[in-house]
Structure 1
Amino acid sequence: MTDAQKITIDGKEYDLASLTDEAKNQLMNIRVADQKIASAQQDLAVLQTARNAYARALAEALPKVNQ
């Protein structure tokens, strides 16, 4: 005997098989959006790291000023 796949939404548990096609489509849309958000966050981390490296390189390339 196999257990039905379940999902918890807003603290309530649902059998995936009992969801309407519209609900399944919206769930899929949420999953796709979550994946894209995670990818964008990874891209942002790469870009922030690159920006920091460029800022360090700029600081080293600037002429020294006596204060």
Structure 2
Amino acid sequence: MALPESLTFNGNEYSVAALSEAARVQITNIQAVDAEIARLQLQLGIAQTARSAYVGALSAAMPAASNVVSSDAPAVSAA
């Protein structure tokens, strides 16, 4: 990932080229973590969509409510 030319941090703007190597490494680390968070959020969205589809398919496959044996079984919700 390319570093930005400038960085605003705690309300102050800095030239990245003028920062220490340690500071530039931390900027790179933050960029990498931000990218990983975005990737994981996308994966979570995919998993939530799949779960919704599975709950819908289960709902369609379940017998009518009149055939319910007990309502004390563990619940699977569409949440």
- On whether the aligned pair clears a TM of 0.5, the verdict is yes
Structure with bigger helix share is 1
CA distance in 2, matches of 1:10, 1:45: 32
Q: Which amino acid letter does the alignment assign opposite residue 21 of structure 1?
A: E
What's the C-alpha RMSD, in Å, of the aligned pairs? 1.2
> Number of residue pairs matched?
63
4+ runs deviating over 4 angstroms: none
Partner Cα separation in structure 2 for residue 8 and residue 65 of structure 1: 59
TM-score of the superposition, structure 1-length normalised? 0.88
Query: Structure 2-normalised TM-score?
Result: 0.75
Is 1:51 matched with 2:57?
no
Q: Secondary structure at the match of 1:54?
A: helix
- Which residue is equivalent to 2:6? 6
**Per-residue Cα deviation, 1:3-59 (whole angstroms, up to 9, x for no partner):** xx2111121100011110000000000000000000000000000000000000001
% of aligned pairs identical? Answer: 40
Unaligned runs of 5+ in 2: 69-79
